[in-house]
Amino acid sequence: MEAYLHDWLSLLLRWAHFITGVAWIGASFYFNWLENHLERQQAPGGIAGDLWAVHGGGFYHLEKFEVAPETLPATLHWFKFEAYFTWITGFALLCTVYYWNAGAFLIDRSVADISGLQAIVIGLASMALSWVCYDLLCRSPLKRNGEILAALIFAWFVLLAWLLSECLSGRAAFIHVGAAIGTIMVANVFFVIIPAQKDLVAAVGENRKPDGAKGKNALLRSRHNNYFTLPVLFIMISNHYAGTYAHPWNWLVLVLISVAGVGIRHWFNIRHQPGHNRWILPMAVLLLLGLIVLMRPHELLLEPDQAGAPSSAALMPVIRERCTSCHAQNPEHPAFTTAPLGLVLESEQNLQETAARVYQSVVVTRTMPLGNLTGMTDEERNLLARWYAGLEKPR
Ligand code: HEC
C-alpha cells in the first residue's frame, strides 16, 4: 500500500512541478523575447518601444515604458508564484523520490559507502551552501566584473558536480546539482528580484526615484537565472539517460552539456545585436557532437565464443536472484507495486526480448541492479556480458 501511495504522490508532484516550471520558465522566456523584439522608438508618455503580435485568434499590442507610468494602474500583474511553486513542488519531489527510499536512488555503495541519512545531509547541504556561496560572490566587489563573477560561479558548480559524484549515486549527484541551481534561481527571485520590483512600484507611488542599486542587482541576478535555464532543464531530464549520469566521467559530462546549454542560451540572447559572435551556436553544437563521439560505449572485448557463452537458461538463476525481486509482474520488493518501467524479467523469453537493454544497464552503465541492492557480483556481470556476446543479434 505504501508503495502504491508513494507512486501516486510522486506522479502528482512531478506533474505539478512540471506545470509550474513550464509557467515560470515560459513566462521568463516570453519576457526575454519581448525585450529582444521591442521596436524601440521614443514616443510621447515615456514609451520606450512597442510591438504587435497575433496569437490565439487575437491581436495584442504591448508597450514598454522607459522608466514607469506616471500613475500606477489599478491592477498590476506580477510573476512570482510560478517560481515559488516550482521550488516547493521540486523539493517535495526530491524528498519523495530520493530521500524516502534513500537506498534505491540516492546512494550507490560502489561510489561511497555512506548511510541514507548522511547522503540526505550532503544533499541538503549542497543546496544551502550553493546559495550562500553564490549570494556572497554576488554581493562582493566582484559584482562589478560580470565575467570574473560568472567564471567563479561556474567553478563552484564544477566543484559541486565533482564532489557530489564522489559521494552520491550518479543520478542523485546530477539532480542535486540541478536542485542547487534551481534553489539559487528561486532565491534570486524571492530575495532580490521581487524586492527590487516592489521598490520600483513603491517609488512610482511615492513620486521618488527608485533605488538604483537594487535595480542593478536584480538585473544581474535575472541575467544569471537566464543562463541557468538550459543547464537546469537538461539536468531535470537527465535521470532518463543513464548514459550521462552513470558515465565514469559523469561530472564532466554534466559540466560540458551545461556549457553547451549556456552557449546556446547566449546565442539566443545576443543574436539581435549587430556584430554578434555567430560562432557560438555552431561551437555549442560541435561540443555536443564531440560528446556523442567521445562517450560512445566501447564494445566489450569479448569474442562471441559459442562454446563459452552461457545460454539464457544458464543466466536465468542470476537474473532471478538479482533482478526479479523488482522486475516482476508482482514485485516482492516493498518499494514497487508493478515492474519498474514495465520491464519484467521472469522468463527466458523476457530476458531475450530485452537483451540489449539488460546488457546496457548491467554491463555498460552499471545502473542495474538499482543501487546494487541485490548485491550483483562482477563475475555475474561478466557472465551476462559473455551471454550477450554469444547471442545472435539481428543485423
Ligand atoms: C531494487 C529494485 C531493482 C532491481 C533489483 C533491479 N532493477 Fe532494474 N530498474 C529498477 C527501477 C526502479 C528502474 C527504473 C529506473 C528509472 O526510472 O529510470 C529500472 C530500470 C531497468 C531497466 C531499464 C533501463 C532503461 O533505461 O531502459 C533495465 C534494462 C533494468 N532495470 C534491468 C535490470 C536488471 C537486468 C536487473 C538485475 C541485474 C535489475 N534491473 C535489477 C529497479 C530495479
My answer on whether 164 and 234 are in the same domain is yes
Task: Please give the number of the atom of ligand 1 that sits closest to the Cα of 369.
Answer: 41
Say how far apart CA 309 and CA 386 lie, in whole Å. Answer: 5
Say how far apart CA 187 and CA 267 lie, in whole Å. Answer: 26
Task: Please give the number of the atom of ligand 1 that sits closest to the Cα of 360.
Answer: 29
Q: 3-state DSSP call for residue 387?
A: helix
- Residue 45 has a pLDDT of 77
Sign of CA dihedral 327, 179, 257, 166: negative
Q: Take residue 346 and report the three cell numbers written for it.
A: 521472469
CA of 47 to the centre of ligand 1 (A): 58
CA of 262 to the centre of ligand 1 (A): 32
Question: Under a CB-based contact definition with an 8 Å cutoff, are residues 120 and 99 in contact?
Answer: yes
Q: Mutate which of 6, 239, 320, 323 to test ligand 1's pocket (most atoms within 8 Å of Cβ)? A: 323
Angle 183-187-191 (CA atoms, 0-180°, nearest 5)? 170
**Shortest-distance Cα residue to atom 42 of ligand 1:** 370
CA of 359 to the centre of ligand 1 (A): 11
**Shortest-distance Cα residue to atom 13 of ligand 1:** 340
Which of 247, 267, 294 is the C-terminal boundary of a domain?
Answer: 294
My answer on whether 244 and 363 are in the same domain is no
What's the Cα-to-Cα distance from 181 to each of 154, 174, 188, 225, rounded to whole Å? 11, 11, 11, 9
Question: Under a CB-based contact definition with an 8 Å cutoff, are residues 302 and 386 in contact?
Answer: yes
CA of 368 to the centre of ligand 1 (A): 5
My answer on whether 318 and 285 are in the same domain is no
Is residue 4 domain-resident?
no
My answer on whether 141 and 253 are in the same domain is yes
What's the Cα-to-Cα distance from 379 to each of 163, 361, 363, 375, 386, rounded to whole Å? 30, 16, 11, 12, 10
My answer on whether 238 and 322 are in the same domain is no
- Residue 273 has a pLDDT of 82
Residues of the chain with pLDDT under 70: 298-307, 393-395
My answer on whether 227 and 361 are in the same domain is no
Is residue 183 domain-resident?
yes
**Bridge partners, 39 (sequence order):** 50
Is residue 28 domain-resident?
no
My answer on whether 283 and 318 are in the same domain is no
Q: What pTM did the predictor assign?
A: 0.88
My answer on whether 133 and 259 are in the same domain is yes
- Residue 15 has a pLDDT of 98
Count CB atoms within 10 A of the CB of residue 182. Answer: 24
**Shortest-distance Cα residue to atom 32 of ligand 1:** 358
Say how far apart CA 364 and CA 372 lie, in whole Å. Answer: 14
Reference 258, options 357, 164, 153; nearest CA is 153
Which domain does 367 fall in, by range? Answer: 312-390
Is residue 57 domain-resident?
no
Give the contacts of 212 (CB within 8 A, at least 6 positions apart): none
Which of 294, 322, 345 is the C-terminal boundary of a domain?
Answer: 294
Is residue 38 domain-resident?
no
The CB-side HSE value for 353 (13 A sphere, CA atoms) comes to: 8
Structurally, the chain folds into a number of domains equal to 2
My answer on whether 213 and 272 are in the same domain is yes
- Residue 297 has a pLDDT of 74
Answer whether the bond into residue 369 is a cis peptide, omega within 30°.
Answer: yes
Which amino acids bring their CB within 6 angstroms of ligand 1? Answer: 104, 242, 322-323, 325-327, 333, 340-341, 343, 357-358, 361-362, 368-370, 373-374, 376
- Residue 393 has a pLDDT of 65
Say how far apart CA 171 and CA 105 lie, in whole Å. Answer: 7
DSSP string computed for 32-63: HHHHHH-EEEEETTTEEEEEEEEETTEEEEEE
Is residue 35 domain-resident?
no
**Shortest-distance Cα residue to atom 36 of ligand 1:** 323
My answer on whether 350 and 236 are in the same domain is no
My answer on whether 135 and 249 are in the same domain is yes
Reference 238, options 190, 186, 173, 151; nearest CA is 173
Reference 224, options 164, 134, 126, 130; nearest CA is 134
- Residue 296 has a pLDDT of 84
Which of 260, 294, 328 is the C-terminal boundary of a domain?
Answer: 294
Is residue 53 domain-resident?
no
What's the Cα-to-Cα distance from 355 to each of 2, 221, 349, 394, rounded to whole Å? 31, 48, 10, 12
User: Where would I find the H helices in 50-101?
Assistant: 81-94
Is residue 275 domain-resident?
yes
My answer on whether 333 and 272 are in the same domain is no
CA of 392 to the centre of ligand 1 (A): 23
- Residue 186 has a pLDDT of 98
